[in-house]
Structure 1
Amino acid sequence: MVDDRHIRRGTLRGARTFTVPTDAVPMVLRALDRAIPAAHFRARSVDTATGAVRYYRRGSLTADVLFGGTGLSLVTRRIGSLSALGVVVVWAGEQDAATTRVIVSLVRGHEVGAEFVSALDEAVGALQHLGLLLGDGGWSRAVDVDPDLPVHPSRAAELGLR
């Protein structure tokens, strides 16, 4: 586990792990589908063979290269396709017969980490407000999750989730 202040400030790519009742997974995915686009990520189709259940992307590589390091990324971060590149991958896997482990990971684009964290906190808060019991595993670095899962940055890149 890493000190999550670095993740919350957006200086590290983060991943959040939590467990939910298996029958509540569709509700969790709907909450993510509402909250993550609020941080200017767009849902992309995902091949089920990757193991990911959701894939969101924002920005463009061109804008990332042009604006990265110039200070202009602060100005352009929120204007859609001309913003810093970011990729979020969601994985869900059965933990036992009654619960499912969900990992939501920013696999690319630590520059948009603070917006990602805010969106994910909003989704988790909304689920808790609805009375869903979440087993919160907390924040970690994205590179610290299981390297065989699509929510690990290297594995996501291998699977074409970039």
Structure 2
Amino acid sequence: MEPNVANLGQKKEPYNKLIIAVSIVIPVVVAVLFKVRVQGYDLSFLPPIYASINGLTAVLLVSAVRAIKGGNRTLHERLMKACMILSAAFLVMYVLYHMTSDPTPYGGDGALKYVYFFILITHILLSIAVIPLVLFSYTRAWRGDYARHKKLAKITFPIWLYVAVTGVVVYLMISPYYTH
């Protein structure tokens, strides 16, 4: 009797459906919450905090790669868990800020405006794409499938790093236009 190839894939990756669902639900919920306006709260202090979280995430991502290349798996694991926690904290603060504040239009002009929008659009699109990449990379490592983890992490790392760094850049470019 031949094994069912479809079932083998599910046994090997039992979290696939959950990761895919979470990867769809998060951007949809964020988009829906962007339409919600909660009055009476001043969370204008959050953007520099969540921009700093992005910067710290970038530093920790680079540190985690250096740790694993240096053979320190324990440090690598701790740094990656910290990156995931920081990213979740960023997301919560980002949504809270945008639910309680009016949108801030970019006020620059000329070529810089096009640079800003290019960075912003790629940041947003890649921040959506990185969700399943991070979750699949993490679960592969967690399950001890280090060969597949490493292969996927080589794709995940530069995208996640780009999202973290461009989060800081977007904040720095738009911060002069915030109204408090």
TM-score range, shorter chain: under 0.3
Q: Decide which structure has greater strand share.
A: 1
| CA radius of gyration, larger in | 2
Q: Comparing both chains, which one has the higher relative contact order based on Cα–Cα distances under 8 Å and sequence gaps of 6 or more?
A: 1
Q: Decide which structure has greater helix share.
A: 2
